[in-house]
Amino acid sequence: MLSAYIIIYPPKIEILERTSEYAPILMFAMLFLSFVFIIFNQKRLMFIGMMATAFIAFYLKISSNDNLILPQANLLPKVKVAHFNLSTFNKEDPEIEVILQEIDPDVISFQEFTPDWERPLSTMLMIKYPYSHKMMRVDPFGMAIFSKKPFKNINTFMYEDIPNLVLSINNGLQDIDIVSSYIPLFYPNPKMNRKDHLDKVTAAISVSNNPVIVMGDYSRVYWQGEMVQFRNESKLNNSRRSTALSSPNPYDHIFYSDELECVQFDEIRESNQNHIGITGTYQINSRSKKNKQFSFGN
């Protein structure tokens, strides 16, 4: 039980905080040990193992999308977004174009957008995605957003020298704010930290009067303490329902406000099954108090 507690609530030390990433592995290890203890009639140890397994499973579930089933799609317009970190791509590989054609999102967020990527992406996307906002940089903090829908507002807020984008689109019914942020594993300045950066993002979300979709790379798994605190303070929901042990820990996330529902979320993989991005589809939440002015159908 102590090891489960330490992994889920690690001390505020970088190397120990990273241990929380192994919570799913520990959960299955505890379950396996519980069965071993049953074989050897070690009831007390079996009970402790089962309790630790249940404790971790409950924590992971409340940290993910807690809908037992995905919401039923209603008749109102949907918005589909996708997020990629370009460091996972080879710009000479045409597979990215095939993948984008298959998933066909309305809005695409790219991070680590360097000058090398400006021409290939613009050429590939300029017809189907006529609206774009780009912030090219030679460091990892460049970003770009391409959209089928026109932007209504575009704002940039900075955490020190790191940009974060906020822009609005209309889904055919109302405006939706899209936020793209990159929270690196290591900051260029030792005085900078994830908590302050996430507080900046939370402050930007708090002034929005529209439904919000937040996406990006956060260098933390969604069940890690800082990420749970960020979602609680910003009142955002997690699009992910779970994570697979066979995959690397998911650092890329899409979160959304209560005015929306996530009707589909998928990991995007190359033909060799490497994780390269995520996509989610969102609709207006008919149960949200802020949306009572709309008429909904199923």
Please indicate, yes or no, whether residues 103 and 228 belong to a single structural domain of this protein.
yes
Question: Domain range holding 18?
Answer: 2-63
The pTM score is: 0.85
User: Where does a domain end: 32, 63, 94?
Assistant: 63
Please indicate, yes or no, whether residues 47 and 95 belong to a single structural domain of this protein.
no
Please indicate, yes or no, whether residues 156 and 272 belong to a single structural domain of this protein.
yes
Q: Confirm whether 298 is domain-assigned.
A: no
Q: Confirm whether 71 is domain-assigned.
A: no
Q: Beta partners for 110?
A: 84, 144
CATH label of the domain that carries residue 167: 3.60.10.10
Please indicate, yes or no, whether residues 181 and 229 belong to a single structural domain of this protein.
yes
User: Where does a domain end: 31, 63, 95?
Assistant: 63
- If one compares 291 and 189, the residue with the highest pLDDT of the two is 189
Kindly state the tokens that stand for 176: 């939706």
What tens digit of pLDDT does each residue of 30-57 get? 888 888 888 888 888 888 888 888 877 7
What's the confidence (pLDDT) of residue 259?
Answer: 94
Q: Confirm whether 206 is domain-assigned.
A: yes
Residues with Cβ within 8 Å of residue 8, at least 6 apart in sequence: 20, 23, 55, 56, 59, 223
Please indicate, yes or no, whether residues 37 and 85 belong to a single structural domain of this protein.
no
Please indicate, yes or no, whether residues 164 and 107 belong to a single structural domain of this protein.
yes
pLDDT band at 117 (very low <50, low <70, confident <90, very high): very high
Please indicate, yes or no, whether residues 91 and 43 belong to a single structural domain of this protein.
no
What's the confidence (pLDDT) of residue 291?
Answer: 58
- In eight-state DSSP terms, residue 257 is E
Domain count, the chain: 2
Q: Confirm whether 205 is domain-assigned.
A: yes
Please indicate, yes or no, whether residues 113 and 49 belong to a single structural domain of this protein.
no
What's the confidence (pLDDT) of residue 297?
Answer: 45
The helix (H) or strand (E) run that includes residue 267 is: strand 260-269
Poorest-pLDDT segment among 60-74, 110-124, 151-165: 60-74
Q: Confirm whether 125 is domain-assigned.
A: yes
Q: Confirm whether 49 is domain-assigned.
A: yes
Please indicate, yes or no, whether residues 136 and 101 belong to a single structural domain of this protein.
yes
Give the mean pLDDT of 233-239. Answer: 95
Please indicate, yes or no, whether residues 209 and 165 belong to a single structural domain of this protein.
yes
CA distance 187 to 183: 9
**243: helix, coil or strand?**
coil
Burial 240-273, CB ≥16 within 10 A → b, else e: beebeeeeebbbbbbbbbbbbbbbebebbebeee
Please indicate, yes or no, whether residues 267 and 133 belong to a single structural domain of this protein.
yes
Q: Confirm whether 154 is domain-assigned.
A: yes
